[in-house]
């Protein structure tokens, strides 16, 4: 069933989501603070412009922004979309936020007779563009029903996890692992360099061994190529691992590995690497050890 859909946030993930919705036959409107992203989406066959002019006709709004503050602003700020939506429309909220934030936003949407799906995503920009995301979704049966056509277009796997908040909780678990895996990959790769193991040989061998991970196989090649174009930036992990630790602190749960990984991303941001691909955390280790990574000039 074709729907009228808006994707708010056309970054590396949101743009792919918008492309997948459009490819599936949905009438798709793209919105972003960067006009060039909107122009590119129009060139791909989508629509853009004044969101307020189309909001009342939308069946679904997919929000793919950075954090809780931006999500709240998009939904309920001065030009917030929720009050403009028709009753029965659904918000699919994809940003990583604390579970209590998701519950609060869902309650506020319900006051406008708008469904809210707590729907963090995983899979990277490539799977977003191919419509093969994994979505950790939580919400009412009505919200799932309203979002079903667009979920089918953008995701390969949709987990139905229960009430709003459960999706964000599961995403926090995933981000704990993912962030630790990236930092550990960087530590192992640079440790290998101190033992004479070139980065390209590290990838070739370890990706076939028990020590591998999805993050290692996805991010280590960025280091080998010396290309830190951000697919997921270092700064994302300051936010996401910070959310994990905030949740853990609230439940008196000790998460020392998460804390150690976060400190490496903080160090990377402190070195001016916050906007680079998160694989750039390897530069922290390299600089501390006097190593030269591929693509870097010898110091």
Question: pLDDT of 89-103, one tens digit each?
Answer: 999 999 999 999 999
Among residues 16, 26, 10, 68, the alpha carbon closest in space to that of 247 is found at: 68
pTM of the model: 0.93
202: tokens are 């590290």
How much is the average pLDDT of 285-297? Answer: 93
Name the strand (E) or helix (H) holding 28: strand 27-31
Q: What would the pLDDT profile of 214-243 be if each residue is shown by its tens digit?
A: 999 999 999 999 999 998 999 999 999 999
Q: What is the DSSP string of 105-124?
A: HHHHHHTTT-EEEE--EESH
pLDDT for the residue 297: 63
Choose, from 34, 171, 201, 239, the residue flagged as catalytic: 171
d(CA 50, CA 31): 8
For 64, phi and psi rounded to 5 degrees? -125, 65
Q: Are 104 and 38 in contact (CB under 8 A)?
A: no
How many Cβ atoms sit within 10 Å of the Cβ of residue 287? 17
Task: Calculate the dihedral angle through the C-alpha atoms of 24, 29, 34, 37, rounding to the nearest 10 degrees.
Answer: 30
Whole-number pLDDT of residue 231? 87
With 0-12 CB in 10 A as exposed, 13-18 as middle and 19+ as buried, what is 250?
exposed
d(CA 26, CA 3): 5
249 given a catalytic annotation: no
Domains of the chain: 4-163 (3.40.50.720), 168-289 (1.10.1040.10)
Residue 48's pLDDT band (cuts 50, 70, 90)? very high
Q: How far lies 191's CA from each of 134, 144, 199, 203, 290, in Å?
A: 32, 46, 10, 13, 12
How many residues would you count in the chain? 299
Cα 47 from Cα 280, distance rounded (Å) = 35
* CA contacts within 13 A on the Cβ side of 14: 28
Residue 299: per-residue pLDDT: 41
Which residues lie closer than 8 Å to 9 by C-beta, 6 or more apart?
31, 32, 63, 64, 65, 66, 70, 74
- Confidence check: pLDDT of 35 > 70: yes
Six token digits for residue 142: 């009505």
Integer-rounded Cα Rg, in Å, for the chain is: 20
**DSSP, residue by residue, 29-65:** EEE-SSHHHHHHHHHTT-B-S-HHHHGGG-SEEEE--
What percent of the chain clears pLDDT 70, i.e. is strictly above it? 99
| Tens of pLDDT, residues 134-187 | 999 999 999 999 999 999 999 999 999 999 999 999 999 999 999 999 999 999
Average pLDDT, the chain: 97
- Pick from 183, 194, 184, 137: which is nearest to 163 by CA? 137
């Amino acid at each position: 069933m074709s729907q009228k859909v808006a994707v708010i946030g056309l970054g590396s993930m949101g743009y792919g989501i918008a492309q997948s919705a459009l490819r599936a036959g949905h009438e798709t409107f793209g919105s972003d603070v960067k006009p060039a992203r909107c122009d590119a989406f129009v060139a791909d066959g989508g629509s853009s412009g004044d969101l307020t002019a189309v909001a009342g006709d939308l069946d679904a709004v997919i929000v793919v922004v950075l954090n809780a503050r931006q999500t709240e602003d998009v939904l309920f700020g001065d030009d917030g979309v929720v009050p403009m939506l028709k009753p029965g429309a659904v918000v699919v909220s994809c940003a990583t936020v604390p579970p209590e934030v998701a519950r609060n936003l869902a309650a506020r949407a319900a006051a406008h007779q708008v469904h809210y799906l707590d729907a963090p995503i995983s899979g990277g920009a490539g799977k977003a563009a191919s419509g093969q995301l994994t979505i950790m979704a939580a919400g009412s049966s009505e919200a799932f029903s309203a979002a079903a056509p667009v979920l089918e277009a953008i995701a390969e796997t949709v987990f139905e996890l229960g009430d709003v908040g459960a999706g964000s909780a599961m995403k926090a678990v995933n981000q704990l692992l993912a962030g630790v895996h990236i930092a550990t990959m960087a530590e192992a790769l640079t440790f290998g360099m101190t033992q004479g193991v070139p980065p390209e040989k590290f990838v070739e061998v370890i990706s076939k061994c028990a020590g591998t991970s999805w993050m290692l196989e996805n991010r280590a090649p960025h280091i080998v190529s010396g290309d830190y174009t951000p697919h997921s930036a270092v700064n994302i992990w300051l936010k996401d691992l910070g959310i994990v630790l905030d949740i853990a602190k609230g439940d008196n749960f000790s998460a020392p590995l998460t804390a150690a990984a976060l400190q490496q991303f903080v160090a990377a941001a402190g070195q001016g690497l916050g906007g680079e691909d998160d694989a750039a955390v390897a530069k922290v280790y390299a600089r501390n050890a006097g190593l030269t990574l591929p693509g870097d000039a010898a110091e």
